[in-house]
Amino acid sequence: MKIQTSSASFLIEKCESESGCIIVSSNSREELYRFFGSLEITETNESFYTYTVSVCKQEFANAMILMVKEIDYSEFSSFSLQTA
């Protein structure tokens, strides 16, 4: 799954080595730190998703709640279902 915010892009993938865990990669170390600051963030060799963190599903759910709370819904005032 991909998530795009105004300050970063995130790629969420299943963790093959641990059950109940997912891998979150991003092009922004700062945003990963902001959402998952207590976890170890590692640098990858990927060209776009340069940073990654392994996180349990509950911690990811908490980060998603924070992301949704930060949405500025005033930017959607001209959006209509006809354009979707």
Higher-confidence position of 19 and 44: 44
Q: Using CB atoms within 10 A of its CB, is residue 50 exposed (0-12), middle (13-18) or buried (19+)?
A: middle
Contact in structure between 11 and 34 (CB atoms under 8 Å):
no
List pLDDT tens digits, range 51-76. 999 999 999 999 999 999 988 777 76
- How many Å apart are CA 66 and CA 84, to the nearest integer? 25
The whole-number pLDDT of residue 80 equals 58
Confidence class for position 83, pLDDT limits 50, 70, 90 = low
Domain total of the chain: 1
If DSSP codes are grouped into helix, strand and coil, which group holds residue 78?
coil
CATH code where residue 53 lies: 3.30.1360
- Whole-prediction pTM value? 0.81
Q: Which two tokens stand for residue 8?
A: 């970063």
User: Domain range for residue 74?
Assistant: 2-83
Confidence class for position 11, pLDDT limits 50, 70, 90 = very high
